[in-house]
A and B are shown apart, each in its own frame.
Chain A
Amino acid sequence: MRSAMRVLLVAGLVLGLAVTGWAAESTLEKINRTGVFTVGARTASPPFGYINKQNEWVGFSIDLAKLVHKNIEKKLNKPIKFELKESAPATRIPLLSSMAVDLISGTMTDTRPRRDSADFSITFFVTGAQFLVKEGSPLRGIIMMPFSSDLAGKRVGAQQGSTNERIIRERVPQAQLVVFPDQAAGFTALVQGRVDTYTNDGIQLAGLKAKAPNPAEWKIVGDFYSYEPYGMAMRKNDSDFRAVVNNALMEAIEGGEYFKLYDKWFGPKGELPYPLTDDVRQFLSYQVVPK
Chain B
Amino acid sequence: MPLSGFLGIQYDFQWSVLWTGEHGRWLLQGIWTTLRLSVLAWIIAWLLGILSGALRTVPFAPLRALATCYVEFFRNVPLLVWLFFWYFGAPQFFPQAIQDWFNLHGPEFWSAVVGLSVYHGARMSEVIRAGIQSIPKTLLEASVATGLSVGQAYRLIIIPIALRLIVPPATNESLNLLKNSSLALTIGVAELTFMSRQIETYTAKAFEALTAGTLIYLVLCVGIASVMGQVERNFRIPGLIARVGRAEH
State the A residues within 8 Å of B (CB): 3-4, 7-8, 11, 15-16, 19-24, 89-91, 93-94, 97-99, 113-114, 116-118, 155, 157, 160-162, 165-166, 178-182, 185, 188-189, 192-194, 235-237
Contact = CB atoms under 8 A, between A and B. Distances in A.
Interface residues of B, number: 41
B200 A90 contact: yes
16 contacts: A8-B222, A11-B218, A20-B6, A24-B10, A89-B201, A90-B201, A118-B204, A165-B201, A166-B202, A180-B187, A181-B185, A185-B188, A188-B84, A189-B87, A192-B91, A237-B10
Nearest 7 CB-CB pairings of A with B = A117-B204, A178-B188, A94-B206, A161-B201, A114-B204, A97-B11, A20-B8
A8 B9 contact: no
Contacts of B201: 89-90, 160-162, 165-166
Contacts of B232: none
Contacts of B205: 116-117
A288 to B, nearest CB: 27
A229 to B, nearest CB: 16
Given A90-B201, A118-B204, A160-B198, A193 B7 contact: no
A192 B92 CA distance: 8
Interface of B: 6-11, 84, 87-89, 91-92, 99, 103, 107-108, 185-188, 190, 194, 197-198, 200-207, 210-211, 214-215, 218-219, 222, 226, 249
Contacts of B203: 113, 116
Contact of B10 (A16, A178, A236): A236
Nearest to A111: B204
A194 B92 CA distance: 10
Given A7-B218, A15-B214, A117-B204, A180 B188 contact: yes
Given A22-B8, A192-B92, A97 B188 contact: no
A98 to B, nearest CB: 6
Contact of A189 (B88, B185, B204, B214): B88
Nearest to B211: A15
Nearest to B221: A7
A16 B10 CA distance: 14
